[in-house]
Structure 1
Amino acid sequence: MIGTITNTITVILGSLAGLLLRRNISPEKTTFITDALGLFTVAIGIQMSLQTKNPIILVASLLVGTFIGEIAGIEHKLERLSEKISRSSSQSIVDGMLTAFLTFCVGPMTIVGSIKDGLGDPSILLAKSVMDGVASIAFAASLGIGVLLSSVLVLAFQGSLAVFGALTGTMLPQKAIAELTASGGVLLIGVGINLLKLKKIRVANMLPTLLFSPLLALYF
């Protein structure tokens, strides 16, 4: 799991650098950066969502995943946790955490790289670590401490995939990767809308979608 650990460390270091820069950036400039990141997030989300091979699976996983997330109250629990960690707005922390997590962790490069890391080949994640480290600087400078907290999610998500690869010695089928990427893209669009303050979408409650989309793809 060398690649996963390295990726997590670069996100932490990049986030710390971004938080230091944030102290020297005026609120007006921070808003400008947030708007730019919001548009970027929507654009990336649209690109990823178009990778679905079966829109019915995408819709079904979104509905089932969101239903379970709403019952579990994931967003509310994250907001309460963020309030204990920082005096900043709990919603801004959650938005920063989800933006970084979904950008860093949902996509073919992450999924294939993490499983290969478990199989003993960290090369993809090591290359990805450089990109995530640079991106986390910009994210943290604009979105704050939530980006730093996303490192825990990065470690948990990529670590789980690495363990999966190590235990099974196999890769996920391409169709499962495609649906996971597409559902993550839809969630990214929701985060982008939140960053642009167009509408409040409880994206955290949609996170179970990331579990159901590959499962439904494999089943059907």
Structure 2
Amino acid sequence: MIGLGTLINVGGILLGGLLGALFGRAINVRIQETLMKATGLCVIFLGIGGAIEKMMTVTETGLTSGGTMMIIGSFAIGSLIGEIWNIEKHLEHFGEWLKKKTKNDRDTKFVDGFVNTSLTVCIGAMAVVGAIQDGIAGD
């Protein structure tokens, strides 16, 4: 079913957010930091693995590469657009607004957590490429 992967992703995000809201304060800060580091490392690994998977192939004669200029251009253009639009500042302002609306004024890490989560979950490599792959190929 086309879109199933995206629906599972949304469900996982909602479930994780709900569990975090309900039980987040019960988990030791040290354990929370360790889990965040482990999750970050996994996201980096998946992003690099996904990029290299299409860029490097093993042939009978050895390792061949391709698409290098595409990734360099994508990073350059994406960075330029992000800086021109100042996306980070807008996400931080939205995070401050959410912080006030949810009455989390005393939470000093709310905005940082919101920005990091938004970047990882909503516009991260797996979210974008996964949604495109799900829509085009249905897997």
> Does the alignment reach a TM-score above 0.5?
yes
1:63 — aligned with what?
76
Pairing 1:105–2:127 present: yes
What is the distance in 1 between the residues matched to 2:70 and 2:3?
33
Pairing 1:38–2:31 present: no
Offset of residue 36 of structure 1: 1.5
What's the Cα RMSD here? Answer: 2.5
Offset of residue 6 of structure 1: 5.7
1:74-131, CA deviations, whole angstroms, 9 ceiling, x for partnerless residues?
A: 1110011001102443222111222223265133x532222466xxxxxx4xxxxxxx
1:29-50, CA deviations, whole angstroms, 9 ceiling, x for partnerless residues?
A: 1111112122222222221221
Say whether the 8 Å CA contact 2:91–2:115 is kept in structure 1. yes
- Among 104, 116, 123, the alignment partner of 1:95 is 116
SS of 1:16's equivalent in the other structure is helix
TM-score (norm 1): 0.46
TM-score (norm 2): 0.69
The structure that is strand-richer by fraction is 2
SS of 2:115's equivalent in the other structure is helix
Pairing 1:13–2:34 present: no
What is the distance in 2 between the residues matched to 1:63 and 1:14?
33
1:3-61, CA deviations, whole angstroms, 9 ceiling, x for partnerless residues?
A: 34564244212321233231210111111111212222222222122133311111112
Whose radius of gyration is greater, 1 or 2?
Answer: 2
Pairing of 1:19-30 with structure 2 (within 5 A): 19-30=21-32
The structure that is helix-richer by fraction is 1
Say whether the 8 Å CA contact 2:92–2:115 is kept in structure 1. yes
What is the distance in 2 between the residues matched to 1:7 and 1:57?
27
Q: Which amino acid aligns with 1:106?
A: V
